A = this chain, B = another copy of it.
């Protein structure tokens, strides 16, 4: 194996879309490709033209709409069918018609799959690989060959597995990618098969792992340790069953723990941002606990750790989170007590001391609210409101308006539409005020009614937008309660609030109110405007 440039090959848009719950439009795929390119991957596999109509369309539009910086675009497809010429196989033609610089072919390397899925002979399988690679190379393509089920196939029939690798390389494939397709291998097996294959063939190899044994990342690293320089994976480990190797974790491990120039250090600093962008586009959230890029990856909860963290964050973190564009967070919970409250308060810019009365009172209130189902872990704004109440006035909220009552109406006719209207009755400086809002559900309608009521008095609220909410049902039966987490944004930053009530709409209302009160922190009195009745439709 000669020294190769390291190839980071992303297959989010092909293998990743086998993920349960992922349905991407062509626009989504183009947008994801741009983020992967910005992160710095070497190759982006866009889909299977000819087999999936949406993918054919993706490659057609990519020609004019996708300008890539670091990445080359790859089309994925299969070797020719048994018994036909490669040039006469419509599926192979579709690969050429995709007009990508790179084509990646899947080839069978496991004898049972050749027999049962292809229904042909091992000799014809080798001919199919050789013919198809040669045609694509002759047409000017760089070709990679994914040897499907290679790790298992090698153990069952070493001779045929090695023949597949040689057939692909002899025909001009740039690298042969050994796939652990069913994800059942552990790192020692992957390392052994890679080492033996490299030794027997001398062909440049790649690796493609699945996570069915929870070892996709470690298997990939094991293959790299054994000499592989082409690594496949997907954003967030998206993929069928247990998913593929997580390309973000693999890239960070290789750069930070192996010193391999997989992506430039500057690009790595944008990794968490790329990860968030991709998750938003696919609609399938990454794991909060995902290594390196997850919002919880550098989040500390334990009281033990919280005290040590004040001394030296490096004591409990394996890397500086800034290296991957992430940050340290502290969770406020009964586990951590006063130390956590102090740490969190300092993170938010308040100079408080764990030994103070204020922190003791805040910790006690948090503990009590948590016992009743609150969770402040992703509701920084609700935490800050509570802390401010303790700092300012010993627990008495100084609120710029009062709530008198509110209601919501949903009326669905036979046509199925269900207009939803909310009405809020408030008092500002003692003067009563009624406002209405219409929306696509109770939370949205209440949010609009609040804006209609308050924006004239507090212009700073007009940019405030509800960006997400989650409802969680706690407990069962008569003890059931709902916890609602709401995320707000004002275009520059976002913050979260929490509301708990036995009624889901009332829990949402509490979280909405916290969001508004948070936006009005440090607002003494309303702007001069005449209280009146107003309405917002939407």
Q: Which residues of A come within 8 Å of B, CB atoms?
A: 17-21, 23, 51-52, 54, 112-113, 116-117, 181-184, 186-188, 211-215, 217-219, 221-222, 225, 237, 240-243, 246, 249-250, 253, 257, 283, 287-292, 294, 296-303, 305, 307-308, 311-312, 315-319, 331, 333-335, 370, 375, 377-378, 403-414, 416-420, 440-444, 468-469, 471-474, 480, 482, 501-506, 509
Residues of B within 8 A of A482 (CB): 440-441
Residues of B within 8 A of A294 (CB): 242
Which 4 pairs from chain A and chain B are nearest by CB?
A184-B318, A218-B218, A441-B504, A418-B506
Residue of B whose beta carbon sits closest to that of A317: B182
Residues of B within 8 A of A413 (CB): 405
Pick the residue among B23, B375, B503 that contacts A441 (CB under 8 A): B503
Q: Is the CB of B408 within 8 A of A410?
A: yes
Q: Is the CB of B404 within 8 A of A296?
A: no
Q: Is the CB of B116 within 8 A of A249?
A: no
Residue of B whose beta carbon sits closest to that of A423: B411
Q: Is the CB of A412 within 8 A of B242?
A: no
Bound complex: CA of A351 vs CA of B302, how far in Å? Answer: 55
Q: Is the CB of B296 within 8 A of A20?
A: yes
- A206 to nearest B CB, angstroms? 19
Residues of B within 8 A of A23 (CB): 333-334, 370, 375
Residues of B within 8 A of A17 (CB): 335
- Beyond the given A211-B289, A214-B217, A440-B502, could you list 17 further A-B residue pairs with CB under 8 A, ordered by the A residue number? A19-B301, A23-B333, A186-B218, A188-B225, A214-B250, A241-B297, A242-B291, A406-B412, A407-B409, A407-B410, A408-B410, A409-B410, A410-B506, A412-B505, A416-B506, A442-B442, A444-B504
26 residue pairs A–B, Cβ–Cβ below 8 Å: A20-B289, A20-B296, A20-B378, A21-B375, A23-B370, A51-B303, A117-B308, A187-B187, A187-B218, A213-B257, A213-B291, A214-B253, A215-B217, A218-B218, A240-B302, A241-B297, A242-B291, A405-B411, A410-B442, A418-B501, A420-B505, A440-B502, A440-B504, A441-B505, A442-B505, A444-B504
- A379 to nearest B CB, angstroms? 11
Bound complex: CA of A23 vs CA of B472, how far in Å? Answer: 14
Pick the residue among B240, B242, B249 that contacts A301 (CB under 8 A): B240
Bound complex: CA of A473 vs CA of B471, how far in Å? Answer: 12
- A309 to nearest B CB, angstroms? 10
- A361 to nearest B CB, angstroms? 18
Bound complex: CA of A52 vs CA of B318, how far in Å? Answer: 27
Bound complex: CA of A444 vs CA of B476, how far in Å? Answer: 12
- A189 to nearest B CB, angstroms? 9
- A453 to nearest B CB, angstroms? 15
A377/B187 contact (C-beta < 8 A), A503-B420, A504-B443 known: no
Bound complex: CA of A480 vs CA of B52, how far in Å? Answer: 26
Residues of B within 8 A of A505 (CB): 410, 412, 418, 420, 441-442
Bound complex: CA of A222 vs CA of B190, how far in Å? Answer: 13
Residue of B whose beta carbon sits closest to that of A403: B414
Q: Is the CB of B291 within 8 A of A212?
A: yes
Residues of B within 8 A of A298 (CB): 241
Bound complex: CA of A375 vs CA of B24, how far in Å? Answer: 12
Residue of B whose beta carbon sits closest to that of A116: B311
Q: Is the CB of A319 within 8 A of B287?
A: no
Q: Is the CB of A316 within 8 A of B182?
A: yes
A215/B213 contact (C-beta < 8 A), A17-B335, A315-B116, A412-B509 known: no
Bound complex: CA of A185 vs CA of B19, how far in Å? Answer: 28
A211/B291 contact (C-beta < 8 A), A375-B23, A504-B441 known: yes
Residues of B within 8 A of A316 (CB): 181-182
Residues of B within 8 A of A474 (CB): 283
Pick the residue among B51, B215, B410 that contacts A503 (CB under 8 A): B410
- A318 to nearest B CB, angstroms? 3
Q: Is the CB of B240 within 8 A of A186?
A: no
Residue of B whose beta carbon sits closest to that of A182: B318
Residues of B within 8 A of A52 (CB): 335
Q: Is the CB of B440 within 8 A of A503?
A: yes
Residue of B whose beta carbon sits closest to that of A210: B318
